[in-house]
């Protein structure tokens, strides 16, 4: 799961890193409590925002109002813009690149540093070599010294860099991240190391260890048509559960039409789109919805089902199993909307098969 920049920064702050003074806004603004100049940054789960125009500077209230209006008015890199991060601009001395990531080949966490961070990091790493260090037991004095030397920073910055590297290590290991990246890590004219941008990829497989409460991310949605003549459509979260659902439908003697993998997060819009596609499959008589909520929240799934019921014409019969995170809330929402759930996948499949045979 990829966090939004502001969420990633919040985590880094928790582990002792410095981040700029900031605000989050969800609608165009005419005023900010921060002092100008401010940097206005689109919050979408994608990189390359700067180059696409999603990172802008405002010198005063007039520019602030104009830019926030503009950024909210159109999608960026195919993502709808629903939130902006406003930050006090930093006086930049130097932009650095620093990350810790899981290297599967090395079976180890690896530290990557580059002395020319910023938007052109890909180009920069072609011209000069990044520093790459294996971190098997974590960062020690030697690691800090190597990075200091590589960046050619003045010795007075050693304690600050140690705090940054330790913090990244803690964030990566304690939060179960696959990647924590700061690009740029800005050295300000005042001599502070501050995270101007942050990217964190959490390991979905470790979700059970945490109580992750992050903004809904566009899920890695997948819609796969298996058989145009199939009579039962299905929606599940995770490829394994989707496969099990298909198998159960087949075992009940019915023909699966498709599967839709809701993915890790919950994307209400994406799910409603999927219901639309299923409703358009001519032969489909029932949809099995099989959710085992982890990161996926049952109440959000319920919301998507209710919206689909209200907005999709000719929605086939729904056979819903909803269990896991927020299942009580999810079931209550559905009940209030007059939509029934079933206790097990077997019940869902049996009911779907019955529907197919009755029409
Ligand atoms: P990305 O393009 O999605 O990686 O967005 P970033 O958040 O990295 O922003 C792009 C660029 O904007 C950075 O590489 C910096 O050069 C610049 N930038 C970001 N924050 C600040 C800031 O607070 N002050 C200044 N002067 N520049 C910034
Ligand atoms: Mn960046």
The full DSSP string for 227-259 is -TT-SEEEEESSHHHHHHHHHHHHHTT--B-EE
Stretch 103-127: mean pLDDT, rounded? 91
Indicate whether residue 181 lines ligand 1 (CB < 6 A): no
Nearest ligand to the CA of 42 is 1
Mean pLDDT calculated for residue range 12-35: 96
Strand order, beta sheet including 258-261? 222-225, 258-261, 232-236, 286-293, 317-324
Whether the predicted pLDDT of 55 surpasses 50? yes
- Give the span between the Cα atoms of 294 and 325, in whole angstroms: 6
Q: What is the pLDDT of residue 4?
A: 95
Retrieve residue 22's tokens: 């900031």
Residue minimizing CA distance to atom 14 of ligand 1 = 118
Which atom of ligand 1 is the closest one to the Cα of 196? Answer: 20
For residue 47, report the distance from its CA to the centre of ligand 1, in Å.
Answer: 11
What CA–CA distance (Å, rounded) separates 156 from 167?
19
Does position 183 have pLDDT exceeding 50, yes or no? yes
For residue 196 and ligand 1, the question of a CB distance below 6 A is answered with yes
48 lines ligand 1 (CB under 6 A): yes
Dist CA 286 CA 197 (whole Å): 46
Residue 117 — pLDDT band, cuts 50, 70, 90?
very high
Closest-CA residue, ligand 1 atom 7, reads 197
- Looking at the predicted structure, is the pLDDT value of residue 248 above 90? yes
Nearest CA to ligand 1 atom 10: 50
Amino acid 266: pLDDT: 66
Residue 253 CA to ligand 2 centre (angstroms): 52
Nearest CA to ligand 1 atom 6: 197
pLDDT tier for residue 213 given thresholds of 50, 70 and 90: confident
Rounded-to-5 percentages of helix, strand, coil across the chain: 35, 25, 40
pTM check: above 0.85: no
What's residue 216's pLDDT?
Answer: 55
Span 297-310, pLDDT tens digits:
999 999 999 999 99
pLDDT tens digits, 135-161: 988 999 999 999 999 999 999 999 999
- What's the order of all strands across the beta sheet hosting 84-88? 22-25, 84-88, 38-42, 55-58
Give the confidence band of 80 by pLDDT, cuts at 50, 70, 90.
confident
Q: Is 95 in the pocket of ligand 1 (CB under 6 A)?
A: yes
Q: Which two tokens stand for residue 221?
A: 């949605």
Angle between helices 158-174 and 5-14 (to 10 degrees): 110
Q: What was the pLDDT predicted at 33?
A: 95
- The answer, yes or no, to whether any atom of ligand 1 lies below 6 A from the CB of 124, is no
Ligand nearest to the CA of 117: 1
What tens digit of pLDDT does each residue of 316-353 get? Answer: 999 999 999 999 999 999 999 999 999 999 999 999 99
Place of tokens 């003697």: 253
Q: Output the pLDDT for position 265.
A: 65
pLDDT of residue 219: 45
pLDDT at 3 over 90: yes
Q: How far is the CA of 256 from the centre of ligand 1 (A)?
A: 48
């Amino acid at each position: 799961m990829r966090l939004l920049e502001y969420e990633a920064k919040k985590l880094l702050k928790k582990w002792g890193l410095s981040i700029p003074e900031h605000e989050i806004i969800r609608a165009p603004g005419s005023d900010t409590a921060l002092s100008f100049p401010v940097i206005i940054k689109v919050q979408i789960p994608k990189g390359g925002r700067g180059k696409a125009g999603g990172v802008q500077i405002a010198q005063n209230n007039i520019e602030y109002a104009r830019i926030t209006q503009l950024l909210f008015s159109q999608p960026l890199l195919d993502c709808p813009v629903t939130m902006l991060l406003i930050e006090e601009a930093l006086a930049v001395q130097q932009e650095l690149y620093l990350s810790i990531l899981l290297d599967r080949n090395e079976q180890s966490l690896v530290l990557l540093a580059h002395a020319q961070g910023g938007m052109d990091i890909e180009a920069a790493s072609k011209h000069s070599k990044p520093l790459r260090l294996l971190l098997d037991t974590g960062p020690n004095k030697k690691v800090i010294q190597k990075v200091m030397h590589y960046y050619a920073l003045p010795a007075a910055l050693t304690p600050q860099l140690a705090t940054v590297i330790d913090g990244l290590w803690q964030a990566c290991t304690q939060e179960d991240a696959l990647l924590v990246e700061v690009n740029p890590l800005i050295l300000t004219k005042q001599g502070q190391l501050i995270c101007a941008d942050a990217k964190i990829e959490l390991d979905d497989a470790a979700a059970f260890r945490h109580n992750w409460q992050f903004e809904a991310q566009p899920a890695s949605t997948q819609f796969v048509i298996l058989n145009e003549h199939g009579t039962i459509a299905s929606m599940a979260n995770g490829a394994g559960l989707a496969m099990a659902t298909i198998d159960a439908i087949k075992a009940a003697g019915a023909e699966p039409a498709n599967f839709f993998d809701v993915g890790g997060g919950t994307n209400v819009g994406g799910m409603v789109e999927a219901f639309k596609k299923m409703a358009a499959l001519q032969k489909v008589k029932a949809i099995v919805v099989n959710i085992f909520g982890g990161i996926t929240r049952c109440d959000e799934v319920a919301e998507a089902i209710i919206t689909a019921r209200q907005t999709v014409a000719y929605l086939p019969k729904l056979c819903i199993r909803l269990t896991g995170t927020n299942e009580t809330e999810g079931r209550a929402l559905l009940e209030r909307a007059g939509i029934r759930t079933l206790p097990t996948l077997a019940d869902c499949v049996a009911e779907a098969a019955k529907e197919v045979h009755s029409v």
